[in-house]
Amino acid sequence: MLLTIDIGNTSIAAAVFDGDALTARFRLASDREMDAEACGSHIAAQLRAGGVDPGAIEGAVLSSTVPVLAAAAAGACRAIFGVEPVVVSAETQAGVPLRYDDPSKVGPDRILHAVAAVHRHTPPVIVVDFGTALVFDAVGRDGAYLGGTIAPGIGISARALFDGAAMLDDVEVTAPPSGSVIGRNTVDGMQAGMFYGYVEMVRGMVRRFKEEIGDDATVIATGGYANEIAAASGCVDAIEPDLNFEALRLVYEANT
């Protein structure tokens, strides 16, 4: 079995593949104080809870935007599972050309977007990732990663609003019950501003990306708010929650 680990700023997402079938998935908080032992202990416990014997893990691959947690996860793979993990980078990926000014500076999460895009869809492709950051990535018609844009994610934007405005309480980030962009109370106004504001950002950015890489570009979305925001935008062709896991599996297979 293959353990795939995708480490982000907010959470550590992991999944297990048996061949090309995804059989289990779980999520941990991105605790930067974790060492290899603690990380391995948490992962092993989650595997057992999902009905997976940690001893059945035969390989591992990880991607991380948090260097200290990358070291902890890699150490856990060696100490707990007895495997040397493949670590996603510009050098260890699945053969996608990186047309970035400095390919070594491409975030591993964005490399995964490109890898999954070219293996699952016919380029050009636009990937929209609703994570801690709202990331748009472009894959050109020739299958090369071209770059993209990074904006604050809806979660951290909402938190900045709640923390910075004394008279505004926390509200759920969702469309207001009225469905109107004109809020007639504070809660509806905040929900309309956050939800529809990000819907329009997605629409606008997708339009601009298509102007540069082609109107026929396929648009795929992934990440925590993909179901709500991407669906409401009307410009997303597919929502793929397991996009990065599939890409991790492909990277592993290309490097072993």
Show which residues are catalytic.
109
Alpha helices in the chain (DSSP H): 36-49, 67-81, 108-120, 154-164, 186-213, 231-233, 243-254
233 three-state secondary structure: helix
Q: CA 151 → CA 16, 49, 51, 134, 217, distances in Å?
A: 30, 35, 38, 5, 21
Rounded CA separation 85/78 (Å): 8
Both tokens assigned to 70: 């990358």
Is residue 28 classed as helix, strand or coil in its secondary structure? Answer: strand
